[in-house]
Structures are given as structure tokens and as C-alpha cells.
């Protein structure tokens, strides 16, 4: 069993460090092991936090982060994730699956259509309006990550590409830092509520940390030509999975 969690964690960590979407691999693995949805979400946050810490550090050392924007978004992401966990512990999350499905399909189609998306950094610079938009986006995605989770990394990458118009590497780095923030917030609350199974989560966390280190280094070295096709592939896989769940 531990080997399965290590292997699935490595693959998930590799993809998550670059384009997100680790929940496509880790959540089904945890549910397959017999965990209830809430325990699966909580245990998944343990593994996700470990992986995003490694990839965030790699991007930080490479210099591919934009801190003026991140300083605005991090606090709202943290609060949003706490509220998301509080909500998922109280209600059924299935009602938003169709919305998620439509959003992910849209991401994949737009990335295929806009061939130059993420090729060049076109960030316009900080402004009051952009800061307000960034705070709202950070809160919403933090809430989603605490509430359900899968696809958050892909959503973040898409937002940094399309709204803020960063290149793929900077977008991936900023997305990893915010995903780490929401993972930490969600993990804290899931742990306090006793919804984390450490015997299963720790082997998966070890695999995800190794995968994240390899994936983030590949991303920094290979650039757009490496990240873009992975992003499209993960978006398509997420779309197919959520189509089955929604319909």
C-alpha cells in the first residue's frame, strides 16, 4: 500500500509543481483506499502542502516570483481557504461540480486557441484596480481550494496567464506560492478537526515532495515549450474526470 501512495504521490507532485491538477491522481487514490470524502480531502492537503512547499522554494530560488502582487494575494488566499474548509465540513460540495467542469473545459479550449498565451511576460504593472481584482481572485480560489481542491493549481496558472499576463514560468511560480498558502490554511483546519490520516498521508507526501522537486526543476530549465503541453493535457484530463462526476 505504501508503494502505491509513494508512486501516485511522485506523479502527482511532478505535474502539480508545473501545471497543477495533482488532485486528479491523489484524491482517487485516497478514495480507493477506503477514505471518506472529507478524510480524503484532509489527507490530500497534507500531501499537497508538502509538495507545494518544495516547488515554491525551487521557484523562489530561481527568481521567478512577483512579490508585489503576491503580497496582496497571500492573505486573501489564506482566509478564503479557511472559509472553504469550514464550508465543506458543513455542506455537500457536489452542487458546484458542473461549474468547475465548465471552467476547466474553458481553460483547455482557451489555451489551445491562444497559441501565444504565456510565451511572453506582458504584466502591465501594479495599480489599485489590479490589486482589488487580485484580492478578489485570491479569496475565491483560496475558498475553492479549501472547499474541493482539484484543479486549483491549474486555475491559478490560468489566472496568472490570462488576467495578469505573466509568462508561463512566472505564472507557474506565483501559482505555486498561492497554492502552498491555501494548502497550509486548509491543512491546519482539517488537522484541528481530526480529518487527516497521517499513516496514509505521509507516504504520499514523501512521493509528492520528490515529484515536485523534479517537476519544478524541469519547468525552470525547459520553459514554455515544456509547460504549455502539460497544462493542456492536465486540463483535458480534469475535464474528462469531472464530466463523469457531473453527468
pLDDT in tens, 201-236: 999 999 989 988 888 787 777 655 655 666 666 666
**CA distance linking residue 45 with residue 73, whole number of Å:** 20
**Model confidence band, residue 94 (pLDDT cutoffs 50, 70, 90):** low
pLDDT reported for residue 211:
87
Cα 35 to Cα 32: distance, rounded to the nearest angstrom: 7
Distance, in Å, from the CA atom of 24 to the CA atom of 28, rounded to the nearest integer, reads: 7
For every residue of 14-25, which 3-state class applies, written as one string?
Answer: HHHHHCCCCHHH
Quote the percentage of the chain above a pLDDT of 70: 73
> Span 98-113, mean pLDDT?
59
- From residue 159, alpha-carbon distances to 50, 140, 172, 188, 226 in Å are 23, 12, 10, 26, 19
The pair phi, psi for residue 177, each rounded to 5°, is -65, -45
Percentage of residues in the chain having pLDDT higher than 90: 28
Q: Is the pLDDT of residue 68 over 90?
A: yes
What is the pLDDT averaged over residues 96-117?
57
Q: Decide if 82 contacts 191 (C-beta within 8 A).
A: no
Considering only CA atoms, which of 198, 196, 200 is closest in space to residue 2?
200
C-alpha grid cell for residue 175?
501559482
- What's the confidence (pLDDT) of residue 37? 79
Flag the least confident range among 3-7, 46-50, 178-182. 3-7
What tens digit of pLDDT does each residue of 155-192 get?
Answer: 888 888 878 888 888 888 899 899 999 999 999 999 99
Q: How much is the pLDDT for 239? A: 62
Looking at residue 71, its pLDDT comes to 95
Contact yes or no for 9/206 (Cβ under 8 A): yes
Amino acid at each position: 500500500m505504501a508503494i502505491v501512495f509513494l508512486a501516485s504521490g511522485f506523479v502527482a507532485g511532478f505535474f502539480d509543481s508545473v501545471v497543477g491538477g495533482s488532485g486528479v491522481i491523489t484524491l482517487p487514490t485516497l478514495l480507493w483506499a477506503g477514505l471518506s470524502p472529507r478524510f480524503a480531502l484532509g489527507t490530500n492537503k497534507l500531501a499537497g502542502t508538502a509538495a507545494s512547499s518544495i516547488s515554491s522554494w525551487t521557484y523562489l530560488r530561481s527568481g521567478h516570483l512577483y512579490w508585489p502582487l503576491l503580497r496582496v494575494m497571500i492573505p486573501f488566499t489564506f482566509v478564503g481557504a479557511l472559509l472553504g474548509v469550514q464550508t465543506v465540513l458543513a455542506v455537500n460540495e457536489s452542487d458546484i461540480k458542473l461549474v468547475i467542469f465548465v471552467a476547466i473545459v474553458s481553460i483547455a479550449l482557451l489555451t489551445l486557441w491562444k497559441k501565444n498565451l504565456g510565451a511572453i511576460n506582458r504584466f502591465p504593472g501594479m495599480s489599485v484596480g489590479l490589486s482589488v481584482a487580485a484580492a478578489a481572485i485570491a479569496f475565491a480560489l483560496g475558498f475553492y481550494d479549501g472547499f474541493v481542491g482539484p484543479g486549483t493549481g491549474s486555475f491559478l496558472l490560468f489566472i496568472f496567464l490570462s488576467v495578469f499576463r505573466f509568462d508561463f514560468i512566472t505564472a507557474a511560480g506565483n501559482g505555486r506560492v498561492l497554492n502552498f498558502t491555501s494548502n497550509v490554511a486548509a491543512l491546519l483546519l482539517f488537522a484541528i478537526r481530526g480529518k487527516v490520516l497521517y499513516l496514509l498521508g505521509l507516504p504520499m507526501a514523501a512521493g509528492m515532495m520528490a515529484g515536485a522537486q523534479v517537476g519544478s526543476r524541469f519547468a525552470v530549465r525547459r520553459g514554455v515549450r515544456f509547460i504549455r503541453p502539460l497544462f493542456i493535457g492536465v486540463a483535458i484530463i480534469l475535464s474528462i474526470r469531472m464530466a463523469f462526476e457531473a453527468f
